[in-house]
Chains A and B, each alone.
Chain A
Amino acid sequence: MILFLEKRANYSPLFSALSPVLALAFTLVFGTIMFSMLGVDPAKALYTYFVFPLTDAYLIEQIILKATPLILIAIGLSVCFRSGNWNIGAEGQYLIGGMFGAIIPVYFNDFQSPLLLPMMMIMGMIGGALFAAIPAFLKARFGTNEILTSLMLVYIAQQFVDWLVRGPWRDPQGMGFPGTKSFNESAILPELIPNGDAHFGTVFAVLVAIGVWFMLSKTLKGFEVTVLGECPRAGRFAGFSTKQMTIFAFLLSGALAGLAGIAEVSGSVEKLDDKLSLGYGFTAIIVAFLGRLNPLGILVAGLILALSYIGGEEAKIALQVSNRATNVFQGLLLFFVLACDTLIHYRIRLVTSSKAGGTG
């Protein structure tokens, strides 16, 4: 017995548009089942996850703070995924970006200048882009599978940053805790609201979303991205180069992941420590697909995923559920987003005899 995925000749545009909403609904249904099995009142659990955080100004600010790196990374990934480049290593690019941006405040801890922050942001972007250039080059030059190389580089980045903050970059006055010296005032991203936690990175995220949306939907470069992702052979006929696109998409998404990294380091932690890697680079893959690879959709999707993080924290305290439940939630969401998209555009056909398709 074989399962075939057959493209539907006519798919419903309504369902296609509703796909992310359907996916969310399915996630909630299965979330209900999961909480029932955990012995928690599902209504209370879902309220704690998805409603309660929205009733509290502090928690809303936390959501925005969490959403910022997710959105920045996911926008870069949307360009990669649309062009058919499967960058799974954004987490590594995010870490290396944060590390690269920290070079100046780490080595010149007293250096103060209005130019310092822009320099740090640019350094962060360069770091992320350089790290993304490795799988891009390997793919363009040797045809390696970028899914494997970019993913494996994440572990290298994690170990490398961990080594830095425990070794050469460790603050001698840090009581033995891993982490660099705290940055001085002029190396810290301004707050969004005075005395709040959310920082200026959110503004970057919104600007980048608008800019990349414009590029993708209005310019020849965006056209090139979509053509090469849809149909590389037609792209070659149009005079577009698959290899150059691989480099471009990886550099752009690496730079945005790097920007997310340094914004987090500079705006939130205010130093580089061993807790920078929280899986944003992986969660951003969900954000990118939930946002339909559209930068404006990603703005919304980033907030939804951030809500699930914050809700998870609340649930841990209020309901005593492990925050692994949050991971399950996010996993369910990605699963249903992809499943809905696939089943709206394809139908499953069961073929019972392996000989049936012999010469067809």
Chain B
Amino acid sequence: MVDSDDNNKELLSVSGITKIFGTLKANDNVDLIVNNGEIHALLGENGAGKSTLVKMLFGSLQPTSGTIVWRGNKVKIANPSAARILGIGMVFQHFSLFDALTVSENIALSLGDNIEMGELADKTRSVSQEYGLPLDPDALVGDLSVGERQRIEIVRCLLQDPALIILDEPTSVLTPQEANKLFETLERLADEGRSILYISHRLEEVQRLCSRATILRHGKVVDACDPREETAASLASKMVGAEIDIVHRETGSGTGDILLKLNALTMPPATPFSMPLRGISLDLRAGEVVGIAGVAGNGQSELFEAISGEAIQADSDAITINGIPSGRLDISERRNLGAAFVPEERLGHGAVPNFALSENLLLARHSSDRADFLGLGRMGVIRRSKVKVLSRQIIEDMDVRKSGEDPAAAALSGGNLQKFIVGRELDRNPSVLIVNQPTWGVDAGAAARIRQALIDLAANGSAVMVISQDLDEIFEVSDRISVISDGGLSEPEPAKNMTREKIGMLMGVSHQNDADTPNTQEATA
């Protein structure tokens, strides 16, 4: 497939690619060269144009202008199957797998029409073993961990024998150990002469893995360099275009009053593919930030919804907010006790996409600020001018960049909307704040600002819980760290006693045999 003689020749050369959406130049005259057998990093903040560029290489978008040269020939990549025929494979950040089908059935779906299932299972097994990606072709995808699901995507890609493999933020869902395994696989693929285009914003990874990097900012290439010759700080400032504020933190005392108490919190799974919560106990004290690390899909969103009251508990004492048993209270009542919540998904959970920012302020605050926002008693007439005044205030406090006076939530970038959503809760000065993935998909500048705000809130005597898959973030903000795995929570440890390796170990722990499993609860309920 790949001729080892032309190892140093250009495999892919992109020149002058521009992509315009309406008035936005998502890619502006971008050049990119990928050589045979190299792992090439594509770095950039959210919204820098990485995904747009990659989608054009994979044929799901067409460039407005510019040329793509593949193995010395100018090509037009009309659609993803054309990309596959050329030898370009892609592993997406978000998997597109069917939970109810087996591994080989999922792979068969993407390969086309004339495939013999038995043969495919054998091929899957051999390819997965060859590259150190063990997979059982007959396992149901619904039963697999996120790391295993990613392996399916990679194996699916490898079965098409690609010369160029594009990986979009592959480690965002992996434990450190799983990530290390992935790196070994990628290095091996590169040794075979395959090229890898590695999209990430994690700088250490890029420095460890990649020999060249192309850095995008606002749709333009700002630099092409060897990341090993740069420092993490210099790469970051190239990505952002400015020095990033460093988050400052005093160590919390951890002796304040218990503001949130989880007492053997147990929930059965809401759907066949969601995670149960298995006897989770935790004391969250005034003045501290507790970080909940864990690999995606281990019960983070279930834990968030249980604490927020979107899922209500059978046992009133399972959750105590500010000393009041709250297990049976709904989310508005919990907010009225001083709790505040920032969910993982901004659009569609934390905010209604088509609603203006001020309306999205009302969304979360209509009960806690009833006296201010609503008039005429039970009629509940909305005082829009008051809502708008506060909305402007939050926009100013959090430095939310937007166009228009009161734009729709969907019109803001991820980072700016997240600043607004966090600001919406901080402005209430809540005594308990629960945040799920506070800076997921948020640019570095906004992320630093949000983390600082969380730390400052705790410093002023509130209790903060940060659920995050980003270990850097966990270490940056937490006084104590606990790990969620398999729906159970590890005993929280002071952050200074925690290491990445230890967290990695805890991420693999099974809580199936914990005392209060939901099954026994269900039987007694």
User: A residues bordering B, Cβ < 8 Å?
Assistant: 9-10, 218-221, 223, 227, 230-231, 233-234, 236-239, 351, 353, 355-360
**Is residue B367 within 8 Å, beta carbon to beta carbon, of the partner chain?**
yes
Q: A9-B21, A234-B351, A237-B349 are in contact. Are A360 and B366 (CB under 8 A)?
A: no
27 A-B pairs in the complex with CB atoms less than 8 angstroms apart: A10-B22, A218-B382, A219-B381, A220-B374, A220-B380, A220-B382, A230-B352, A230-B353, A233-B348, A234-B348, A234-B351, A234-B352, A236-B310, A237-B310, A237-B331, A237-B341, A237-B349, A237-B350, A237-B363, A239-B309, A239-B330, A239-B335, A239-B366, A353-B81, A359-B96, A359-B110, A360-B96
Are A230 and B354 also in contact (CB < 8 A) when A220-B366, A236-B310, A238-B363 are? yes
Closest-by-CB residue of A relative to B89 is A359
Q: Which among B310, B330, B352, B380 has the greatest number of chain A C-beta atoms within 10 A?
A: B352
A350 to chain B minimum Cβ distance, whole angstroms, is 12
Q: B359 contacts A223, CB within 8 Å? A: yes
Q: Of A220, A236, A356, which is within 8 A of B81 by CB? A: A356
For chain B residues 339-394, which have a beta carbon within 8 Å of chain A?
A: 341, 343, 345, 348-355, 359, 362-364, 366-367, 374, 379-382
Cα-based distance from A223 to B366 in the complex (angstroms): 10
Q: Which residues of B contact A234 (CB under 8 A)?
A: 348-352, 363
Question: Which of A9, A10, A231, A353 makes the CB contact (< 8 A) with B353?
Answer: A231
Produce 1/0 per residue, B77-115, CB < 8 A to A. 001110000000010100010000000000001101000
Cα–Cα, bound, A9→B22 (Å): 8
Q: Which residues from chain A contact B355 at a C-beta distance below 8 Å? A: 227, 230
B21-32 vs A: 1/0 string, CB under 8 Å?
Answer: 110000000000
Q: Quick one: closest B residue to A355, CB to CB?
A: B81
Nearest-neighbour CB distance to chain A for B436, whole angstroms, equals 11
Who on chain B is nearest to A352 by CB?
B79
Q: Does B274 contact A (CB under 8 A)?
A: no
Report the 9 A-B pairs with minimum CB-CB distance, sorted nearest first: A239-B332, A220-B380, A356-B79, A231-B352, A358-B110, A239-B331, A238-B363, A234-B352, A355-B81
Report the bound CA distance from A359 to B92 in whole Å: 8
For the complex formed, measure the closest distance between the CB of A324 and the CB atoms of chain B, giving whole angstroms.
39
Residues of A within 8 A of B382 (CB): 218-220, 223
Q: Which B307-338 residues sit within 8 Å CB-CB of chain A?
A: 308-310, 330-332, 335
Residues of B that sit less than 8 Å from A by CB? 21-22, 60, 79-81, 90, 92, 96, 109-110, 112, 153, 156, 308-310, 330-332, 335, 341, 343, 345, 348-355, 359, 362-364, 366-367, 374, 379-382
Contact indicator A219/B366 (Cβ below 8 Å): no
**Bound-state Cα–Cα, A220 to B21, Å:** 37
Question: A238 contacts B380, CB within 8 Å?
Answer: no
A218 and B383 CA atoms in complex are apart in Å by 8
Shortest distance from the beta carbon of B86 to any chain A beta carbon, whole Å? 14
Residues of A within 8 A of B81 (CB): 353, 355-356, 358
C-alpha gap A357/B96 in the complex (Å): 11
New contact pairs (15) apart from A220-B382, A231-B353, A233-B348, CB-CB < 8 Å: A10-B22, A219-B379, A219-B380, A220-B366, A220-B380, A221-B380, A230-B354, A233-B345, A234-B352, A237-B364, A238-B331, A239-B309, A239-B330, A355-B80, A355-B81
A218–B364 alpha-carbon span in the complex (Å): 17
Contacts of B343 in A (CB 8 A): 237
B373's nearest neighbour on chain A, judged by CB, is: A220
CA distance A359 to B110 in the complex (A): 7
Nearest residue, chain A, Cβ from B153: A359
Q: Are A356 and B80 in touch, CB under 8 angstroms?
A: yes
Name which residue of chain A comes closest to B353, CB basis: A231
Query: What residues of B have a CB within 8 angstroms of the CB of A351 in the complex?
Result: 79
* Partner among B80, B310, B351 whose Cβ is within 8 Å of the Cβ of A360: B80
**Contact B60–A360 (Cβ < 8 Å):** yes
Closest CB in chain A relative to B310 CB, distance in Å = 5
When C-beta atoms are compared, the residue in chain B nearest to A228 turns out to be B352
Considering residues B22, B79, B109, B353, which has the most beta carbons from chain A within 10 angstroms of its beta carbon?
Answer: B79
In the complex, residue of chain B having the shortest beta-carbon distance to the beta carbon of A215: B379
A238 to B363, CA, bound (A): 5
Shortest Cβ distance from residue A188 to the other chain B in the assembled complex, whole angstroms: 34
Contact of A227 among B80, B349, B363 (CB under 8 A): B363
Nearest residue (CB) in A for B370 is A220
How far is A17 from B13 in the complex, measured between Cα atoms in Å? 47
A230 to B352, CA, bound (A): 7
Write the nearest CB–CB distance from A271 to chain B, whole angstroms: 39
Complex Cα–Cα for A359 and B367 (A) = 42
CA distance in complex: A230, B347 (Å): 12
Contact A358–B363 (Cβ < 8 Å): no
Complex contacts, A358 vs chain B, CB 8 Å: 80-81, 109-110
> Closest CB-CB distance, A208 to chain B, in whole Å?
16
Q: Complex formed: what's the CA distance from A355 to B109 in Å? A: 9
Please give, as numbers and ranges, the residues of chain A lying within 8 Å of B362 by CB-CB distance: 223
**Docked complex Cα distance between A227 and B362 (Å):** 11
With contacts A356-B79, A360-B60, A360-B80 known, is A238 near B349, CB below 8 A? no
Cα A220 to Cα B381 with chains together (Å): 6
